[in-house]
């Protein structure tokens, strides 16, 4: 588990979702920016001001941890760290450790629809290295905040920085391919690595320090504007991560660190062979024996940054689909139960509350629903899913319970415009289904003259759901070109970016008017 000599006392956790309100879903990388990808700088602060003008209570993000394969924030080398892609170069200049002249002519003007993550990371790594070189030359008395950050975050930061320093020295290697003593974390090997890679360890520590400083500044702005932040915790972590390397005892691994079983989804209507995700699975008995300390430390770190958290794949806290690591598909798997009730009871005790949204999409059993309701966690409803069943579905607003978070769509859906205007499938059955869905949409929304994205926004805001979250792409009526992610694909995802000035005063005013109409503004 993340190492700490004395467990912290349970904090007083603010409980959101107790007032009828709404918010916007937008990952910071999707903000307009001049260095390849959105960040925590001026555009983020301007977005906070937009939310305030629009009467929004929440800014929901995707995971802010470093991105992994395909630049996915759901496949991270560290679930505790902040992604260097979110670094604001302009804010780094304000620290006095860096000058834009150090970069040369690298700005893109922020006027492209797609983020350039490769270029972004190249520029920001260079900026951090220059700043770090100057920082280490600063007088010792100017480093007190840095030392305090190291001490406060050491339970995860030491392993994270050392892991990345070793990865720098052996690029392209999974930790399971390192020297066995390093792979197995022999104390002498770890101490030698800390000496050999001391500068790289300090660089990665400094990077997290600077990112934490910029995050704190953004969070302070949110507090002053009355905007709450909603984070996102993926249920699984990447195998090639500091988390798994440092905490092998809580993952299902062989003696050499290889995966024994992996996560996936069984065959269903959408896939005859299921989905093989490949993430290592947890040893829940070992976690329970430790009072779930690794998981609770992860949630505690997230709640230090966010006011509330979306729990990805909530179904996996009740049971998961286990597939042998050698399997070619997810067909040859089995369901394994999880002690979810004991986990959430301990989390509530340790964290002082459970400010979570349960992402309960998929095949939801009675046991999953009972677990969510046992701890009064709001579930999720997606309006794009409401019209598939001609007999109606639980995603139709008139069937909602109040303790719900409703979305027009999520990062895994097409935009509302893209979804509604998509051409029909080529087969007869597909065309019939496509036509029936759109007919049900028209009948349910009869009399509303707005374009489809504002129809669904109005439907979300007018519903009984306590919380409504609207993706920024839907506020602008953007099509499929603005989709954030297409599950099952690896190319072209996560890179959507707003253009400068798109979120206008008019958009803010229209959204605020609807929130006033449907009593989603605090009085």
According to the model, what pLDDT value does residue 269 have? 63
According to the model, what pLDDT value does residue 5 have? 47
Measured between alpha carbons, how far is 410 from 24 in angstroms, rounded to an integer?
Answer: 11
Residue 359 a catalytic site member = yes
Measured between alpha carbons, how far is 112 from 499 in angstroms, rounded to an integer?
Answer: 7
Backbone angles phi, psi at 70, to 5 degrees: 65, 20
**Under a CB-based contact definition with an 8 Å cutoff, are residues 245 and 177 in contact?**
no
Of 268, 309, 468, whose CA–CA distance to 383 is shortest?
468
According to the model, what pLDDT value does residue 47 have? 98
Q: Could you report the average pLDDT of every consecutive run of 10 residues in the chain (523 residues)?
A: 51 75 98 92 97 98 95 94 96 90 70 90 95 90 90 97 98 97 98 98 98 98 97 97 97 97 84 88 98 98 97 96 95 96 98 96 91 97 88 85 97 97 89 89 82 97 98 98 91 94 97 97 72
Residue 519 a catalytic site member = no
Of the residues 159, 359, 360, 474, only one is catalytic, namely 359
Radius of gyration for the chain, computed over Cα atoms and rounded to the nearest angstrom: 23
According to the model, what pLDDT value does residue 338 have? 98
CA distances from 452 to 54, 318, 436, 506 (A): 20, 36, 16, 18
Q: Please, what CATH class does the domain formed by 21-378+466-476+488-517 belong to?
A: alpha beta
Q: What is the pTM of this model?
A: 0.94
53 burial type by CB count under 10 A (0-12 exposed, 13-18 middle, 19+ buried): middle
Q: For residue 512, what are the contacts with CB-CB under 8 A and spacing of at least 6?
A: 53, 54, 55, 521
Domain ranges of the chain: 21-378+466-476+488-517
Placement of tokens 């977005």 in the chain: 47
Of the residues 39, 240, 312, 474, only one is catalytic, namely 312
Residue 312 a catalytic site member = yes
According to the model, what pLDDT value does residue 325 have? 96
**Under a CB-based contact definition with an 8 Å cutoff, are residues 380 and 357 in contact?**
yes
Of the residues 260, 322, 412, 448, only one is catalytic, namely 412
Strand, helix or coil at 138?
Answer: coil
Backbone angles phi, psi at 201, to 5 degrees: -60, -45
Measured between alpha carbons, how far is 332 from 345 in angstroms, rounded to an integer?
Answer: 33
According to the model, what pLDDT value does residue 391 have? 53
Alpha helix segments (H runs only) across 334-488: 340-351, 366-374, 416-421, 428-444, 452-462, 472-475
Strand, helix or coil at 39?
Answer: coil
């Amino acid at each position: 588990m993340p190492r700490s000599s004395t467990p912290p006392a349970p904090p007083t956790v603010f409980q959101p979702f107790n007032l009828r309100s709404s918010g916007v879903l937008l990952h910071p990388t999707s903000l307009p920016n001049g260095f390849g990808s959105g960040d925590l700088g001026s555009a983020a602060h301007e977005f906070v001001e937009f939310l305030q003008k629009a009467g929004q209570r929440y800014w929901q993000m995707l995971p802010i941890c470093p991105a992994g394969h395909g630049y996915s924030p759901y496949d991270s080398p560290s679930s505790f760290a902040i992604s260097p892609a979110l670094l604001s170069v302009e804010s780094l200049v304000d620290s006095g450790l860096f000058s834009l002249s150090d970069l040369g002519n690298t700005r893109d003007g922020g006027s492209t629809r797609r983020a350039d993550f490769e270029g972004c990371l190249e520029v920001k790594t260079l900026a951090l290295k220059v700043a770090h070189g100057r920082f280490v030359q600063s007088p010792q008395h100017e480093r007190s905040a840095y030392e305090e950050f190291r001490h406060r975050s050491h339970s995860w930061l030491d392993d994270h920085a050392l892991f990345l320093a070793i990865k720098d020295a052996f690029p392209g290697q999974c930790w399971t391919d390192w020297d066995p003593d390093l792979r197995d974390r022999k104390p002498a090997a770890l101490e030698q690595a800390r000496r050999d890679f001391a500068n790289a360890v300090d660089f990665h520590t400094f990077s997290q320090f600077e990112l934490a400083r910029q995050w704190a500044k953004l969070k302070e702005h949110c507090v002053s504007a009355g905007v709450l932040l909603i984070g996102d915790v993926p249920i699984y972590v990447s195998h090639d991560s500091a988390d798994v390397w440092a905490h092998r005892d809580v993952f299902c691994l062989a003696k050499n660190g290889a995966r024994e079983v992996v996560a996936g989804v069984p065959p269903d209507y959408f896939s005859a062979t299921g989905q093989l995700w490949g993430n290592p699975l947890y040893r829940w008995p070992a976690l329970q024996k430790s009072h779930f300390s690794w998981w609770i430390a992860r949630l505690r770190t997230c709640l230090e940054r966010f006011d509330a958290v979306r729990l990805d794949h909530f179904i996996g806290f009740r049971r998961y689909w286990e597939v042998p690591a050698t399997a070619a598909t997810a067909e040859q798997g089995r369901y394994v139960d999880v002690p979810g009730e004991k986990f959430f009871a301990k989390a509530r005790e340790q964290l002082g509350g459970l400010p979570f949204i349960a992402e309960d999409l998929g095949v939801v059993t009675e046991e999953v629903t009972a677990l969510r309701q046992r701890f009064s966690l709001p579930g999720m409803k997606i309006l794009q899913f409401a019209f598939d069943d001609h007999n109606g579905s639980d995603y139709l607003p008139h069937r909602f319970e109040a303790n719900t978070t409703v979305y027009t769509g999520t990062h895994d859906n097409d935009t509302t415009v893209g979804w509604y205007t998509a051409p029909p499938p080529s087969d007869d059955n597909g065309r019939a289904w496509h036509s029936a869905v759109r007919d049900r949409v028209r009948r349910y929304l009869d009399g509303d003259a707005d374009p489809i994205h504002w129809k669904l926004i109005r439907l979300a805001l007018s519903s009984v759901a306590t919380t409504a979250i609207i993706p920024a792409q839907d506020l602008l009526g953007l099509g499929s070109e603005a989709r954030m992610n297409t599950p099952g694909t690896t190319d072209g995802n996560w890179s959507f970016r707003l253009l400068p000035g798109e979120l206008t005063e008019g958009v803010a005013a229209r959204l605020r008017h609807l929130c006033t109409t449907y009593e989603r503004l605090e009085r």
